[in-house]
Amino acid sequence: MQLVAVVDYGGSNLRSVAKAVEFVADDRHEVRITDNPTDILNADRVVFPGQGAIGDCMGRLVERGLITTLQECLRTRPFFGICLGLQSLMQTSDEDGGVACLAAYPGFVRRFRADAGPNPDGTPRKIPHMGWNQVKWSKPHPLVAGIASGSRFYFVHSYFVVPDDDAVVMGRTEYIDSFVSALATGFVFATQFHPEKSATAGLQLLRNFLQWDGTV
């Protein structure tokens, strides 16, 4: 049986993520919420969800001794980052006055512009970006099999990633500006949106992740 570790750094939303993964899992997968570095390193695949502020997230990862654990997992097994689990992969974030992240990829995290005009229908563009929006895939990948480009997913965020290398960009979304809403390279797939809140398309993404061996 394969172990799927859902990383517990003390944040919220862990239970809903674990329940969504369990829903699409079969009897070959055990889903375990854990903050134990040994459990995480022994897992066959890792899900790193996150909500809230990046400063709290990184601080709790340090307290739990999970920084090097996650950096190792990013290199060695299928890894799915969600929301802060995507933002934490960059070098730094502008949030909380500037925060050092996992530095898995060159790039940074930026806040949406506050000076954006209204939507085409006249309604204001609010921050945070909250609700359903389209994601257009930038390249093929096993995790998006059966999910059309332009499918809608659920977002809740005020910050977005700006990777230095366009080759890692997996998906883009339009809100105020075009921003990177998914990243994929090596063993890593990460999304700004929440697949566990994204109905059929989100569940298919998680189902594909459980079947993925890390090759593209």
Question: Which of the residues are catalytic?
Answer: 83, 194, 196
Q: DSSP characters for 138-152? A: SS--GGGTT--TTEE
Cβ pair 183, 161 in contact under 8 A? yes
Residue 24 CA to residue 30 CA, distance in Å, equals 11
Residue 37 CA to residue 56 CA, distance in Å, equals 19
Q: Given the structure tokens 């049986």, which residue do they identify?
A: 1
Cβ pair 95, 54 in contact under 8 A? yes
Partners of 107 in the β-ladder: 163
What distances in angstroms separate CA 196 from CA 20, 57, 103, 109, one per listed residue? 6, 19, 25, 23
Sign of CA dihedral 94, 107, 194, 40: negative
Residue 144 CA to residue 156 CA, distance in Å, equals 21
